[in-house]
């Protein structure tokens, strides 16, 4: 597996994107059909396509929320080892997600810096020098 760095860490869920684009395309085509030739079936297909696109979107949102909860728990455990879990609530989820890429050795300093300078998630990730890859994020 390729070594993960800031430059290549972004995950793009291609299968989800293709599925979502397909459902939105179907929605547009069915809506055009319902507009051109109104019928109960064509409106039913619009509703079905809308529900499908919404479901696919919700599945992604729910997966990301769950991953963020797991990362928050992981960071709480890592920061508890450092005696710093009390300060964790001062950072937002995006910042905690960014901090998870820091190695155990550089985490304390970067955590203090994120609190002192209110660094954004992007700034935190750019500041990581010993990158800890996340190959399981979906």
Write out the DSSP string of the chain.
-PPP-TTT-----HHHHHHHHHHHHHHHHHHHHHHHS--HHHHHHHHHHHHHHHHHHHHHHHHHHHHHHHHHHHHHHHHHHTT-GGGGGGS-HHHHHHHTTB-TTTHHHHHHHHHHTT--HHHHHHH-SSB-------
pLDDT at 7: 75
pLDDT at 11: 79
Query: CA 130 to CA 97: how far, in whole Å?
Result: 15
pLDDT at 6: 79
pLDDT at 25: 97
Residue spans per domain, the chain: 14-127
Chunked into runs of 10 residues, the chain (138 residues) has average pLDDT values of: 77 90 97 96 97 96 94 94 88 94 93 92 93 79
């Amino acid at each position: 597996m390729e070594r993960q760095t800031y430059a290549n860490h972004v995950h793009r869920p291609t299968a989800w994107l293709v599925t979502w684009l397909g459902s939105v395309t179907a929605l547009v085509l069915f809506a055009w059909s319902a507009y051109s030739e109104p019928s109960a079936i064509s409106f039913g297909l619009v509703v079905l396509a809308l529900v499908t696109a919404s479901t696919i979107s919700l599945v992604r949102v729910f997966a990301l929320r769950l991953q963020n909860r797991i990362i928050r728990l992981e960071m709480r455990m890592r920061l508890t080892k450092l005696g710093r879990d009390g300060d964790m609530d001062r950072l937002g989820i995006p910042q905690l997600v960014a901090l998870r890429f820091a190695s155990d050795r550089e985490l304390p300093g970067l955590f203090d810096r994120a609190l002192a300078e209110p660094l954004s998630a992007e700034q935190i990730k750019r500041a990581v020098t010993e990158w800890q890859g996340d190959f399981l994020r979906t």
